[in-house]
Chain A
Amino acid sequence: MWDYTDKVKDHFFNPRNTGKIEDCDGIGEVGSLACGDALTFTFKLDENKEKIVDARFQTFGCASAIASSSALTEIVKGMTIEEAEAVTNQDIADFLGGLPEQKMHCSVMGREALEAAISNYRGEGDGTKPAADVDTDIVCVCFGVTGHEIERAIRENNLKTIEDVTNFTKAGGGCGGCHEDIQAILDRINGGESAERTKKKPLTNIQRMKLVQEVIENEIRPQLKNDGGDIELIDVEGPKVTVAMRGACSGCNAAQFTLRDVVETKLREYVSDDIIVEEEK
């Protein structure tokens, strides 16, 4: 069960300002049924078009999505458009006494609906996303998240990892096909410390053989020797590495798993992802 604050529970069980203002000044409709949460946010300005006098929401989603929407309407009531524009997702989360990390995207949805509605008020967008996001590239296809949205969430919330980005924007939470792109955005914004580490250069055959030899010598053999076993490199042919298990490892029931668990994993990690290890009988 989620560890929701009392404030979240209060706004879920007793949501404020539900419904839709028919003659609203601005409307924002974000999210979708497919994505699992969606919010329609409407607001009304006073006669002089200075302050927000009414704000209402309709939300499809979990408890924290409903509570975040409810909180959003309470926050913006009485604000000028300029003040409302400065509201961040963190303001929504703070208003509720915090949200679970994995639910932060609910507060982001609130902020996006607010922005979409403000854009709509100014005649800038169609009300389905903040104007700044119209025509920008979709990075996460599963949840329809743009690069701009991801970048903004990273900057505003000081995000460091792909998991953070998923928690805040949902991007990367589906098929995972966009993880590389998200990492690239993270690297670009955070200075790119970890960008190069995961990239392995293609090797020539000679380089590959040499590297396999080194890894077996320095990384694998010491580990097997601890268990009274040993390993010998027989052949390297393209991605196929043939080895012989010696000592306690030979004839051991667990040797098949040692091969895959230890030898293959290490070689894949250090040499290349396509390595297949076979045992010479």
Chain B
Amino acid sequence: MEVYLDNNATTRVAPEVLEAMMPFFKSEYGNPSSMHRIGGRVKKYIDKARERVAALLNADPSEITFTSCGTESDNTAIRGAVEAAPDKRHVITTRVEHPAVLGMCRYLHKYNYRVTELSVDKEGMLDLDELRNAITGDTAIVSIMWANNETGVIFPIDEIAQIVKEKGVVFHTDAVQAVGKVPIDLKKTPVDMLSISGHKLHTPKGTGVLYRRKGVKIAPLIIGGHQEEGRRAGTENVPYIVGLGRACDLAAEHMEDENTRVRSLRDRLENTLLNTCPDTRRNGNAERRLPNTSNISFEYIEGESILLMMDNIGIAASSGSACTSGSLEPSHVMRAMGVPFTAAHGSIRFSLSRYNTEEEIDYTAAQMPPIIERLRELSPFVK
């Protein structure tokens, strides 16, 4: 049996998405910028995809820019905003962001930007007063993720966006993990920019979106032609853009399933593991969390060993342990939350999708305890 529980890393390509893409690998090869009908009819599909993405976010199609990935969207938002406000030298983010955001902020730090990284508590939640106090007249942009990729913890983006807006500062949110899993309505939530990654939404890798509210000024990251109204030069990745449009439709269709069936599968897996394996703990707030993500620490054993044992019987997940990443310290998210070392090294992230079945979850729940027991028998810390 092969059980894929690593959907926060990437997802299976939906057959409907692949089907929608196929013509653009074959007969519909035109360049959407061309004057002739071969290009013109391709342009219509790009427009349609833009409408579909906008619909999922309740945004205007003109506010949607297609990019190559979530990282490009994050980079464009942050670097673009600071470049558009050259007199401001301060950036605010959080300690638990994805490297696509943190890396860019730390890059700016090298160029004399002041960077505030907001802390989180033991449950991975922000202190909004810390945010309020951090914003100054010198702040160029605030970038705070919608949901955390490692723990699934959801930040109160409505409230955060409101706070930042009142101070008149640009607000960006990396919503790569949230889009498609929780309802998003940008007519109600005043975020200025939002990043999406296609391959977390069941498209192939190589596509992303930056939502930019009308009137928000950013400099482009990629400069050249007039594509995407000059906001992102480079000939459009037509098949993938069309696929992403279809994926957004499907995400809206499956949103309820994600929040009921997938959520209950996740809960079932989590509760079984917490109850059957001694010395385990859940990482992250239990309530304010994505419906598909569970992060569990198996104390006194190490994550890479757990993952390899799981892989050996066909179960795919990921770990915040140091050894899996090639770094020597456990994940920055676990450390920011103050998860003790005894637990951080043995943290495992299970992330589900709509393709997971009850049978797969029961298989995983049954296979995990012997793995944990076997590794604990080897460990000098288990008496």
Contacts and interface: CB of A to CB of B under 8 A. Distances in A.
Interface of A: 2, 12-13, 15, 18, 20, 29, 33-34, 36-40, 58-63, 65-66, 102-103, 142-143, 166, 170, 173-174, 253-254, 256-257, 260-261, 264, 276
Nearest to A65: B302
5 contacts: A12-B305, A38-B380, A63-B304, A173-B328, A174-B329
A257 B378 contact: no
Given A143-B328, A173-B328, A33 B378 contact: no
A18 B322 contact: no
Contacts of B125: none
Contacts, number: 84
Nearest to B342: A33
Contact of A170 (B326, B328, B380): B328
A183 to B, nearest CB: 18
B377 A13 contact: no
B83 interface: yes
A61 B302 contact: yes
Contacts of B323: 36-37, 61-62, 65, 103
Interface residues of B, number: 32
A18 B379 contact: no
A261 B79 CA distance: 13
B379 A59 contact: yes
Given A253-B83, A253-B219, A60 B328 contact: no
Contact of A173 (B111, B302, B329): B329
A113 B312 CA distance: 29
B112 A62 contact: no
A173 B327 contact: yes
B379 A60 contact: yes
Nearest to B343: A33
Most buried by B among A15, A63, A166, A173: A63
Contacts of A18: 377-378
A36 B381 contact: no
B70 interface: no
B135 to A, nearest CB: 22
Contacts of A61: 302, 305, 323
B2 to A, nearest CB: 15
B314 to A, nearest CB: 14
Top 10 closest pairs, chain A to chain B, by CB: A173-B328, A62-B323, A62-B304, A58-B380, A40-B380, A260-B111, A34-B341, A60-B379, A256-B86, A36-B322
Interface string B316-351: 000001111011111000000000011001000000
B251 interface: no
Contact of B302 (A37, A253, A264, A276): A37
Given A18-B378, A102-B326, A60 B302 contact: yes
A29 B322 CA distance: 21
Most chain B CB within 10 A, of A15, A36, A65, is at A36
Interface of B: 83, 86, 111-112, 219, 223, 300-305, 308-309, 312, 321-324, 326-330, 341-342, 345, 377-381
Nearest to A63: B308
Contacts of B301: 60
Given A256-B83, A257-B83, A62 B379 contact: no
A38 B328 contact: no
B120 to A, nearest CB: 20
A36 B342 contact: no
A63 B378 contact: no
B341 to A, nearest CB: 4
A174 B223 CA distance: 38
A36 B327 contact: no
B81 to A, nearest CB: 13
A62 B346 CA distance: 10
Nearest to A175: B329
A58 B378 contact: yes
A12 B309 CA distance: 9
Contact of B378 (A59, A103, A174, A261): A59
B302 A58 contact: no
Contacts of A256: 83, 86
A131 B379 CA distance: 24
Given A60-B301, A174-B329, A264-B111, 15 more contacts: A12-B305, A20-B380, A29-B380, A36-B322, A37-B302, A38-B380, A38-B381, A59-B378, A60-B379, A60-B381, A61-B302, A62-B305, A63-B304, A142-B329, A276-B112
B379 A58 contact: yes
B305 A33 contact: no
B269 to A, nearest CB: 23
Contacts of B300: 33, 60
B327 A33 contact: no
Contact of A62 (B312, B321, B377, B381): B321
A39 B378 CA distance: 10
Nearest to A1: B311
Nearest to A170: B328
Contacts of A276: 112
A61 B380 CA distance: 10
